Amino acid sequence: MKDPDEAKPDPHKLRRRTVWTALAAFLSAGAAMTARFFFPRAIFEPATKFRIGPPSDFAQGVDERFRQSHGIWVVRKPDRIFAIYAKCTHLGCTPNWLEAENKFKCPCHGSGYDSEGRNFEGPAPRPMDRASVELDADGLIVVDTSRLAQCPPGGRCEFETKKDFHIAL
């Protein structure tokens, strides 16, 4: 014959199990928070200083290869190469290069810039900035977008006087 007490759950056992479960949950949450502290979610920005290749890689005109990845256009003129920082000087949208019209056009409020990044229409107050460029020991162009030169409204453009904002050809 079966003992009637055998089917009843042991209250001490049940309490112990509940306490251990709560303790395990508490310790797991603590471990997760500690791991999160040592490995925070980080946003990896693209490098601000990067090589884009030798000058011979760039044909005459505006090169869009680095706009998406690094926010610049590389422009080759007969006598020099420079990098335009792809940010409208009105409120910071990214203009589009319109090859057929030979100009940059901002989609936000319509500012237009010529192929050197000089504003000529719309609300933009000044030309787009230029990023620093130099040749490294291997003859590759190094662009540094943490070093920008700008034209203040109605003022003298820094990049017209500073040599490290274009590469003479």
Which spans of this chain sit near ligand FES (rule: CB under 6 A)?
A: 88, 90-93, 106, 108-111, 122-124
Minimum separation from the CB atom of position 112 to ligand FES (A): 9
Which CB atom, from 23 or from 91, has the smaller least distance to ligand FES? 91
Radius of gyration of the chain (CA): 30
Instruction: Answer positive or negative: Cα dihedral of 64, 69, 73, 78.
Output: negative
As a whole number of angstroms, the distance between CA 80 and CA 159 comes to 12
Which CB atom, from 108 or from 142, has the smaller least distance to ligand FES? 108
Instruction: Answer positive or negative: Cα dihedral of 154, 88, 60, 142.
Output: positive
Minimum separation from the CB atom of position 89 to ligand FES (A): 8
Minimum separation from the CB atom of position 98 to ligand FES (A): 14
Which CB atom, from 109 or from 162, has the smaller least distance to ligand FES? 109
Minimum separation from the CB atom of position 124 to ligand FES (A): 6
Which CB atom, from 111 or from 132, has the smaller least distance to ligand FES? 111
As a whole number of angstroms, the distance between CA 112 and CA 117 comes to 9
As a whole number of angstroms, the distance between CA 78 and CA 72 comes to 19
